């Protein structure tokens, strides 16, 4: 049986190898590698909703292998530039016009949802967000983006149940995230 290896850790390539081996994945961050995503020795790779940029070769398919990499951000809007960063049978059609925000999450620092104080700690996660904003209103009135930080504090408004909304952005795309429901003191 052929050996299969897949690794999507930051600054590590994604490589699929082996006859009839197939891998489908999404939301990968593949940058700063010799080859970002690669299928070899008859393997096939399907990659969507990912960031594949700043690699010497962004994606490659060896003989008898295929890489279906539609719906990804390649670090450019120019199809010729994207094509120049690929090798072999790589389908990069339908590429994104923006860099998606990957693997986002929000929680309270304590894990709680009911607080006796209005000032609470917030923990945020994203593999590539560059800026963020927090609000109790999903329209984010008068709330501006600030540099992304994995921890921050937030002051709750009046007493009662409410939601916190997080919006984060990468270079070209902003994404509103699911809410975090909390209860502040009376």
> 174 pLDDT exceeds 60?
no
Residue 3 banded pLDDT, cuts 50, 70, 90: very low
Reported as type and span, the H/E element at residue 119 is: strand 119-125
Residue 36 banded pLDDT, cuts 50, 70, 90: very high
| The pLDDT value given to residue 119 | 86
- Are both 82 and 111 inside the same structural domain? no
Q: Which of these three, 45, 62, 91, is where a domain ends?
A: 91
Asked, for residue 139, whether it belongs to a domain, the answer is yes
Task: For the beta carbon of residue 1, count every other beta carbon within 10 angstroms.
Answer: 6
Q: Which of these three, 27, 56, 91, is where a domain ends?
A: 91
Enclosing domain of residue 25: 14-91
Q: Any idea what the CATH number is for the domain that residue 125 is in?
A: 2.60.40.10
The pLDDT tens digits of the residues spanning 4-33 come to: 334 444 467 899 999 989 999 999 999 999
The pLDDT tens digits of the residues spanning 110-126 come to: 888 777 778 889 888 88
- Are both 80 and 112 inside the same structural domain? no
| The pLDDT value given to residue 132 | 85
- Are both 77 and 27 inside the same structural domain? yes
CA dihedral 55, 132, 106, 186 (to 10 degrees): 180
State phi, psi for 81 to the nearest 5 degrees: -65, -40
- Are both 85 and 28 inside the same structural domain? yes
Indicate the average pLDDT of the chain. Answer: 83
Asked, for residue 6, whether it belongs to a domain, the answer is no
Cα(first)–Cα(last) distance of the chain, in Å?
A: 63
Residue 176 banded pLDDT, cuts 50, 70, 90: low
Number of domains in the chain: 2
Higher pLDDT, 185 or 35: 35
**Alpha carbons 105 and 125: distance in angstroms, whole number:** 5
Q: Which of these three, 60, 91, 122, is where a domain ends?
A: 91
| The pLDDT value given to residue 157 | 80
| The pLDDT value given to residue 8 | 42
- Are both 119 and 144 inside the same structural domain? yes
Asked, for residue 19, whether it belongs to a domain, the answer is yes
- List C-alpha distances in Å: 19 to 8, 42, 66: 21, 4, 11
- Are both 28 and 64 inside the same structural domain? yes
Dig out the tokens for 169 from the structure: 């952005």
Quickly list DSSP for 91-151.
E--S--SSPPPPS-EEEESSS-SB-SSSEEEEEEE-SS--EEEEESSTT-TT---EE--SE
State phi, psi for 148 to the nearest 5 degrees: -65, 140
| The pLDDT value given to residue 160 | 65
Tell me the chain's radius of gyration from C-alpha atoms. 20
Dig out the tokens for 45 from the structure: 């790779």
For the chain, counts of helices (H) and of strands (E): 1, 18
């Amino acid at each position: 049986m052929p050996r299969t290896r897949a690794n999507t850790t930051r600054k590590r390539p994604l490589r699929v190898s082996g006859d009839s081996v197939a891998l489908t994945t999404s939301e990968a961050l593949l940058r700063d590698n010799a080859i970002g995503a690669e299928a070899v020795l008859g393997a096939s790779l399907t990659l969507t909703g990912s960031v594949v940029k700043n690699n010497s070769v962004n994606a490659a398919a060896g003989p008898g292998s295929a890489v279906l990499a539609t719906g990804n951000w390649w670090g450019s809007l120019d199809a010729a530039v994207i094509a120049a960063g690929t090798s072999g049978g790589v389908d990069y059609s339908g590429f994104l016009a923006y860099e998606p925000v990957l693997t986002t999450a929000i929680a309270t620092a304590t894990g709680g949802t009911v607080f006796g104080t209005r000032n609470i700690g917030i923990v945020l996660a994203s593999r590539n967000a560059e800026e963020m904003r927090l609000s109790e209103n999903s329209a984010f009135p008068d709330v501006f983006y600030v540099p992304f930080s994995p921890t921050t504090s937030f002051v709750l408004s009046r007493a009662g149940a409410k939601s916190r909304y997080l919006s984060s952005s990468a270079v070209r795309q902003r994404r509103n995230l699911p809410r975090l429901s909390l209860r502040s003191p009376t």
